[in-house]
Amino acid sequence: MKKLPALIASLTCAAGLAFAAAPAQAQTLQTGMKNNEVAQLQRELHARGYFEAGFTGYYGSITTGAVTRFQQDHGLAIDGIAGPATQAKLNGSHSESAQTAVSKVRYQASQQELNDLARIIYAEARGESLEGQIAVGAVVLNRLESGLFPRSISEIILQPGQFTAVDDGQYQLAPNRKAYRAARAALNGADPTNGSLFYYNPQLATSEWSKNRQAVVTVGRHIFTN
């Protein structure tokens, strides 16, 4: 019986160690907070095209709106609060091809180039998911880097015979916020096409030249090729 207190103390100590070793759950971030975790959240959102302001570390209306848009695009509960599920999806998207964040901006675009990229994305793929829209933007960036096409985003887009939406006038439509998010994500390095230079919609395409090219990946309704 004299050994019982020692046993209890031992079990209590073990329980304490087990508790200490358990991983900490991500802190829920919400309106009114200001800390380094919020600043990191803002950086992650910016890398994916959702956050356009400075990394202040303050969770205000701009951060709330960015979180809300991210939640809408990823099938999460829409409350503007960066809880565990939202943070897990945001962090997990590092491994998703469409949302891969990179440490360095792929291309430092001017405002006009951003506008043009968002415009062609909206004109060509406004019915696609965010991933599908990023993919179209990535093709433009892949062409820019290939050395096989004109040397600017605008010239690539307006090169004769390259984009149906330019030929039929849809390029003149004003892009929406989602198209701008896709454009920024592509400029930040996201490329779900694995470096593709061309794409086509198999339900609409009539060009045998497009159909005979080697397929790389299918994203939404588009087949991306090289």
Q: How many CB atoms lie within 10 A of CB 80?
A: 18
| Positive or negative: CA dihedral 131, 211, 145, 152 | negative
Lowest-confidence segment of 56-65, 84-93, 102-111, 131-140 by average pLDDT: 102-111
Of the chain, the percentage scoring pLDDT greater than 90 comes to: 66
Sole residue written with tokens 């009539």: 206
**Per-residue confidence band for 226, with pLDDT thresholds at 50, 70 and 90:** very high
Residue 20: pLDDT over 90: no
Residue 202: pLDDT over 50: yes
Residues 45-58 pLDDT 10s? 887 778 878 889 99
Residue 100: pLDDT over 50: no
Residues 36-86 pLDDT 10s? 999 999 988 887 778 878 889 999 999 999 999 989 888 899 999 999 999
Residue 12: pLDDT over 90: no
Residue 95: pLDDT over 70: no
Residue 13: pLDDT over 60: no
- Return d(Cα 222, Cα 200) in angstroms, integer: 5
By the 10 Å C-beta count (0-12 exposed, 13-18 middle, 19+ buried), 189 is classed as middle
By the 10 Å C-beta count (0-12 exposed, 13-18 middle, 19+ buried), 49 is classed as buried
| Model confidence pTM above 0.85 | no
Instruction: Please report the pLDDT score of residue 225 as a whole number.
Output: 97
Q: 41 phi and psi, to 5 degrees?
A: -60, -45
What is the average per-residue pLDDT within 180-202? 94
Ordered structural domains, the chain, with CATH: 36-82 (no CATH), 111-225 (1.10.10.2520)
Of the chain, the percentage scoring pLDDT greater than 70 comes to: 84
